[in-house]
Structure 1
Amino acid sequence: MNSPRILCFGELLLRLGAPGRELLLQSPRLNVHVGGAEANVAVSLAHFGHDVAMVSTVAGNPLGAHAVAELRRHGVGTRHIRRDPDGRMGLYFLTTGAVQRASEVVYDRAGSAFASSTAADYDWPTLLQGVQWLHLSGVSPALGPQVAQATVEAARAARAQGVRVSFDGNFRPSLWQRWGGDAATILQALFAQADIVFADYRDIEVVLGQRFAQEDVVARVDAAADAAFAAFPQLQWMACTQRQVLGVDHHVLGALLLGRDGTRAQAPARTLAGIVDRIGGGDAFAAGILHGILSGFDAEATVRFGLAAGGLKHSLPGDFNPVSEADVLALVGEERFDVRR
């Protein structure tokens, strides 16, 4: 069997959501979706036509089997997913906001099968054979010291084997605080291996321990990118969105893609009214950017594609963004993108 071109490493979660706009357990019903930051990226890339597989550990029970089956249904390879017969699935509970009431997430993932896995459970030199790209996020190392070590070893092994690395900052302070993790040091180790990071100025402030006080948000991102490129010599790209929240269901979303060589591409902001579900929007954006880079789009086309993919996710319930390249291109409104040759 051929090795996948792209690997994503992270936790598969079950999302239990209150139906409609109800409060959690206002009625005795919950809607179930499979998700997880890295899995969301994997699903999007599979729908864009890429050969992608997931590396993870799930509970060896029907809940874990369902999560794995959902990935497989979306075209993601699952043969590298471990089953822990004594483990439990990580969960999170979602209450969707309305009017002036914000959405709320409650995590129940401590001690999950993935969070309890160790670096010894993943043979990265073998897993990475034939792989061209590894995608990671800051959620995994935030779960505990063992998973943090596994994530850093994955990134270092990829770099040693010539595999390109993408890293989504996804800074979750509450997760780091639960075990007193040194977020800055661990995230620095991961940024040091990345070819592209999905991060804004706030992530860079955590990683580098410096503040960006420019009045304009975009100017802060520009300054943060300059600092990141100076601190991490192998880093080639930094991408992020800028979100303006006008109401629970009404956002304005823009995006930037900045290159080490001075390339600066900014997608025109999109107005997102009547939002169905914003969970996974950042992962959809990341997958769109990766697709653009892997497909040879120029920087402007890449950031427009990424923003359109992220915007489409807001129209769909659940964590996954099961849309095709054609769906995104139709939203962008262009028949073709320029290809670097």
Structure 2
Amino acid sequence: MEFYFGGTEVNVAISIANFGGKVKHVSSISDDFIGDTAKSYLRKFGVSTSSIVRSKRPLGVYFLEVGAVMRPSSISYNRSHSAFSEIQPEMVNWQKSLKKCTWFHWTGITPALCQGGYLTLKEGLKLAQKKGIEVSVDPTYRSGLWKYGAQPKETLSDLLQYCTIFIGGINEMNEILGTDFKYSNEDFIEASQQIIEKFPSIKKTFDKIRTLINASWHKIRSRMWNGSEFRETEDLDITHIVDRIGTGDAFAAGLIYGLQNFDDYKAMEFGAAASALKHTYEGDVNFSNVDEVMNILKGNTSGRFNR
């Protein structure tokens, strides 16, 4: 068995730090040597751990059986009684945590785990909106995590009212809207229009498209709707996948970096290339830097030695 520290927001945080961004992670982890090691892991990449609180409960885990070719991968979660599951709003000083913050990112994993996670996140989002902070969301709907009685549609909808950038696919849109859109570009545009209409603070929607040839060979591209214009990138071929876990987070991190440094289309290209590169790394995190992602955008995909 191999183990890695990770998690959706952690993966995004480390990737943005690798791109040169200043990042802080807000969470609750175990108050033991495993938690100490997790904090050291984050600090190794330059991610601030000053807003992480500690708990007597153990760090949450999940188990992955990696698939190949026609055999799919499988995941089993063990997170119901983790350190994060007891987090409460009074445990996080959001005023301090969001000091000098310009971008707030969250995913649907957080409110799925426990009511405390939902309520704590909501307090942070309300303050972020008050401060005029850009807020991106990746709803990341995982049916196997919603075990404490909350309804995903109502809970996610309550939190989306504070967001400005939506990073999610048709499945997440259907869950939030209660619709049955398909995967075509036309359906994506219509779903995006409904998302923006229902949540007026959201200005743009972005989606990472994955085309599966088999479990080992995928194609990645991105598309967007900004309220008036649809754009789509070209496919990137990934003919041999090392590890696909965290590739959506790599896309989100690349997109967030891109939106702060490029126009929307270049940001999409950057996000898709970052996601494609993540498929070549073991573990949850994309270790690529800006130059390596830009190299892919220049068409250098041969994998030749750099000497």
The residue that corresponds to 1:265 in the other structure is: 231
The residue that corresponds to 1:18 in the other structure is: none
* C-alpha separation in 2, matches of 1:199 and 1:190: 15
* C-alpha separation in 2, matches of 1:113 and 1:37: 16
Which amino acid in 1 is paired with 2:125? A
CA RMSD of aligned residues (A): 1.4
The residue that corresponds to 2:21 in the other structure is: 50
* C-alpha separation in 2, matches of 1:206 and 1:78: 33
* C-alpha separation in 2, matches of 1:165 and 1:125: 16
Aligned 8 A contact 1:276 1:316 in 2: yes
Structure 1 position 204, deviation (Å):
1.5
- Determine if the alignment matches structure 1 residue 103 to structure 2 residue 69: no
* C-alpha separation in 1, matches of 2:149 and 2:54: 28
* C-alpha separation in 2, matches of 1:69 and 1:78: 9
Gaps spanning 5+ residues in structure 2: where? 301-307
Q: Name the % identity.
A: 31
- Determine if the alignment matches structure 1 residue 191 to structure 2 residue 157: no
* C-alpha separation in 1, matches of 2:69 and 2:256: 34
- 2:240 paired residue among 274, 277, 284: 274
* C-alpha separation in 1, matches of 2:273 and 2:69: 25
The residue that corresponds to 2:102 in the other structure is: 132
* C-alpha separation in 1, matches of 2:93 and 2:229: 37
The residue that corresponds to 1:169 in the other structure is: 139
Structure 1 position 334, deviation (Å):
7.2
* C-alpha separation in 2, matches of 1:304 and 1:148: 32
Q: Residue deviations 1:139-178, cap 9 Å, x none?
A: 00000111111112211111012211111110011111x2
- 1:80 paired residue among 28, 37, 51: 51
- 1:285 paired residue among 243, 247, 251: 251
SS in 2 for 1:79: strand
- Determine if the alignment matches structure 1 residue 179 to structure 2 residue 145: no
Paired residues, what number?
300
The residue that corresponds to 1:236 in the other structure is: 203
SS in 1 for 2:234: strand
Q: Residue deviations 1:250-292, cap 9 Å, x none?
A: 11122112212x1322110111111000000000000111001
The residue that corresponds to 1:200 in the other structure is: 169
- Structure 2-normalised TM-score? 0.94
* C-alpha separation in 2, matches of 1:110 and 1:234: 32
SS in 2 for 1:160: helix
Q: Structure 1 runs of 4+ off > 4 angstroms?
A: none
SS in 1 for 2:83: coil
Q: Residue deviations 1:85-117, cap 9 Å, x none?
A: x12100111111123221111111111111111
Q: Residue deviations 1:287-340, cap 9 Å, x none?
A: 111001111x112111111100000000000001011100000011079xxxxx
Aligned 8 A contact 1:263 1:299 in 2: no
* C-alpha separation in 2, matches of 1:173 and 1:32: 24
- Structure 1-normalised TM-score? 0.85
The residue that corresponds to 2:189 in the other structure is: 222
Aligned 8 A contact 2:189 2:230 in 1: no
Which amino acid in 2 is paired with 1:316? Y
The residue that corresponds to 2:279 in the other structure is: 314
The residue that corresponds to 1:65 in the other structure is: 36
SS in 2 for 1:115: helix
- Determine if the alignment matches structure 1 residue 332 to structure 2 residue 297: yes
* C-alpha separation in 1, matches of 2:85 and 2:118: 9
- Determine if the alignment matches structure 1 residue 247 to structure 2 residue 214: yes
Gaps spanning 5+ residues in structure 1: where? 1-29, 336-341
The residue that corresponds to 1:26 in the other structure is: none
* C-alpha separation in 1, matches of 2:4 and 2:74: 16
* Structure with higher helix content: 2
* C-alpha separation in 2, matches of 1:104 and 1:62: 29
Which amino acid in 2 is paired with 1:277? D
Which amino acid in 1 is paired with 2:37? H
